[in-house]
Copies of this chain bind each other. A is one copy, B any other.
Amino acid sequence: MQSKTSNDLLKFFIDTCKQQNLKVTPQRMAIYKELIKSKNHPSAEAMFQKVRRQFHNISFDTVNRTLFTFSEIGLIDIVEGHGRPRRFDPDMNMHHHFHCIKCGNITDFRNDAYDNLEIPENIKQKFMVIRKRVVLKGSCDKCSKRSEFSNAS
């Protein structure tokens, strides 16, 4: 069962690479295999440590670069975090964010429906929530224009 699902995922991975004109290298396979085992949100360093156990002489740079490549073709996501460089927001009124995944800009927007979102009961019981925000990700107007036909290759 486990291996069947795993094989399906590997097939999906290989197909995606071919579609995107990415070469299917043993390094990329090894990294992908570790990724589908990951339950949390690993850093590049954490992935490097895991992968090198199977792939003795893989370099950090390859792991890091490959993770970034995977995120570009939609195999994995880069999650938002308290980032570096840290960005400070002097606007303490409730508002929401649009992140451009290309240029990295964050745009504020207001939305009443989002402001009124309820915190789920199971979350309230476990965590002390002091702020909520809807984060939308995608491509901003400038970046969309710039690469309008980029996936027609």
Enumerate chain A interface residues (CB-CB to B < 8 A): 35-36, 38, 41-45, 47, 67-68, 70-71, 74-92, 97-101, 104, 106-107, 109, 111, 113-114, 117-120, 122-123, 126-141, 144
Contacts and interface: CB of A to CB of B under 8 A. Distances in A.
Contacts of A84: 83-85
A120 B109 contact: yes
Contacts of A133: 80, 134-137
B136 A123 contact: yes
A42 B87 contact: yes
Contacts of A42: 87-88
B104 A79 contact: no
Contact of A127 (B76, B104, B140): B140
A4 to B, nearest CB: 18
Contacts of A128: 138-139, 144
Contact of A132 (B113, B127, B136): B136
Given A67-B88, A83-B84, A131-B136, 4 more contacts: A70-B88, A77-B90, A80-B81, A84-B84
A118 B129 contact: no
Contact of A78 (B68, B70, B82, B91): B82
A131 B74 CA distance: 11
B141 A137 contact: no
B99 A76 contact: no
Contacts of A75: 92
Nearest to A132: B136
